[in-house]
Amino acid sequence: MQYALLVQGSPYSYQASHSALRFAQAVVRRGHSLTAVFFYHDGVYNAARLAAPPQDEPHLYDAWAQLHREHDTELLVCIAAALRRGLMDERESSRHGKAGHSLEPPFILTGLGQLIEASTAYDRLISFSP
């Protein structure tokens, strides 16, 4: 079965991101395919490469990146939600005249069309919200 996830909660303010990650790990452990994770609203903060949580907390950015490396899961970030919150990749940073960037691969800025595609192309789209 092919799964896609929609993550809408900020990584350290709500349980949604951590629950989504645990669900994602369980899906692939059970032999299913996790094709894409779409980060939307405050969920885009999961893609912030400069996050530095305390050592006794899970490092969700690293865990999502590891999921991508091990299972080739696309990590899609809503561009409108990300830019609104100051998250941008190198290309968008240059386009907006900013000095640095806070998002890089394996996280990819994309539009809502990718979310719509996920809702129609895969067997299940599971949403995690605060």
Annotated active-site residue 121? The verdict is no
Q: How many domains does the chain have?
A: 1
pLDDT in tens, 30-74: 999 999 999 999 999 999 999 988 998 889 999 999 999 999 999
pLDDT in tens, 89-108: 999 999 999 999 999 999 99
Phi-psi region of 72 (alpha: psi -120 to 50; beta: other; left: phi over 0): left
Catalytic residue among 24, 60, 63, 78: 78
**In this structure, what CATH number is given to the domain that contains residue 73?**
3.40.1260.10
Domain containing 85: what range? 2-128
pLDDT in tens, 72-90: 999 999 999 999 999 999 9
Name the DSSP class of 123.
S
Residue 119, pLDDT > 90, answer: no
Distance CA 19, CA 69 (A): 20
